[in-house]
């Protein structure tokens, strides 16, 4: 299998091990499920992650998306997935106000897992950059990448903001679980400046939903005095 990238695990306890990144295939399914299981077991709050089923991973690996993985000595230590979603009532494009004919232009950033022993090496960020480069090589002209993240899933929220993704909705998904819906327009080269900015505590769901209903987007988060603040902005004067 062709290598996408080679890098180094820089944490001292890992003794500067080399890692390799390649596309994942159906034969990797067992190892993918093992990595996900280890990640879930180490979560303090199981509600922050929506694990994928074996069938969902299989659906992606059979050509309905893209998965890449990082390996150390042939051991899968991290993976990241993109999903081509079915056009159904739960489609995230509907949550962010896209029209019906725009829905096929959406691809999802799905689950991203890193084994606990290898956290702190920016693997999630590295795989995010690599998988989007691989997406750009494909013929299908996707215009939007979307995903959901639970409030207070701080690592995942930081990951999305670092990629330039924005919060476009905050609502119940997956059977009444509160989720941010993130979006990034893939065709936008340089983002326009925010003309108005307000910050809201992350636990104030109603205030955030009010800003989103006005067309504002969340674009970064900051911890201040033990509180997580989400910054919302408007790109047009009200």
Kindly report the CATH number assigned to the domain that includes residue 44.
Answer: 3.40.630.30
User: Taking each helix axis from N to C terminus, what angle separates 154-162 and 123-136, rounded to the nearest 10 degrees?
Assistant: 40
How many domains does the chain contain in total? 2
Question: How does pLDDT run across 204-233, given as a tens digit for each residue?
Answer: 999 999 999 999 999 999 999 999 999 999
Instruction: Say yes or no: 184 and 196 in one domain.
Output: no
Instruction: Say yes or no: 58 and 20 in one domain.
Output: yes
Tell me what percent of the residues of the chain surpass a pLDDT of 90.
76
Instruction: Say yes or no: 184 and 211 in one domain.
Output: no
Which residues on neighbouring strands pair with residue 228, listed in sequence order? 223
Instruction: Say yes or no: 88 and 162 in one domain.
Output: yes
Instruction: Say yes or no: 77 and 179 in one domain.
Output: yes
Instruction: Say yes or no: 112 and 176 in one domain.
Output: yes
CB atoms within 10 A of CB 53: 10
Instruction: Say yes or no: 180 and 77 in one domain.
Output: yes
Which residues on neighbouring strands pair with residue 149, listed in sequence order? 180
Instruction: Say yes or no: 125 and 209 in one domain.
Output: no
Instruction: Say yes or no: 123 and 108 in one domain.
Output: yes
Question: How does pLDDT run across 133-147, given as a tens digit for each residue?
Answer: 999 888 777 999 999
Residue 24, token pair as written in the block: 């994942």
Structural domain harbouring 225: 192-238
Instruction: Say yes or no: 208 and 187 in one domain.
Output: no
Instruction: Say yes or no: 206 and 97 in one domain.
Output: no
CB of 139 closer than 8 Å to CB of 93: no
What share of residues in the chain are helix, strand, coil (percent, to 5)?
Answer: 30, 35, 35
Instruction: Say yes or no: 220 and 137 in one domain.
Output: no
pTM: 0.87
| Residue labelled with tokens 């327009």 | 185
């Amino acid at each position: 299998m062709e290598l996408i990238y080679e890098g180094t695990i820089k944490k001292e306890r890992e003794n500067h091990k080399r890692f390799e990144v390649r596309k994942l295939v159906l034969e990797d399914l067992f190892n993918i499920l093992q990595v996900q299981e280890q990640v879930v077991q180490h979560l303090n709050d199981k509600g922050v992650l929506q694990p994928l089923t074996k069938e969902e991973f299989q659906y992606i690996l059979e050509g309905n998306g893209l998965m890449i993985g990082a390996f150390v000595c042939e051991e899968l230590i991290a993976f990241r997935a993109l999903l081509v979603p079915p056009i159904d009532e739960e489609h995230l494009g509907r949550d962010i106000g896209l029209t019906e004919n725009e829905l096929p232009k959406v691809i999802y950033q799905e689950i991203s897992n890193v084994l606990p022993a290898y956290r702190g090496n920016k693997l999630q960020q590295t795989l995010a950059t690599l998988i989007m480069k691989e997406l750009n090589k494909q013929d299908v002209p996707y215009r939007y990448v979307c995903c959901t993240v639970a409030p207070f899933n701080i690592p995942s929220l930081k990951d999305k903001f670092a990629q330039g993704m924005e919060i476009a909705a905050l609502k119940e998904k997956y059977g009444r679980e509160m989720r941010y819906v993130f979006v990034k327009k893939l065709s936008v080269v340089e983002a326009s400046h925010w003309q108005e900015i307000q910050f809201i505590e992350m636990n104030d769901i109603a205030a955030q939903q009010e800003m989103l209903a006005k067309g504002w987007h969340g674009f970064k988060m900051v911890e201040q005095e033990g509180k997580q603040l989400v910054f919302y902005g408007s790109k047009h004067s009200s």
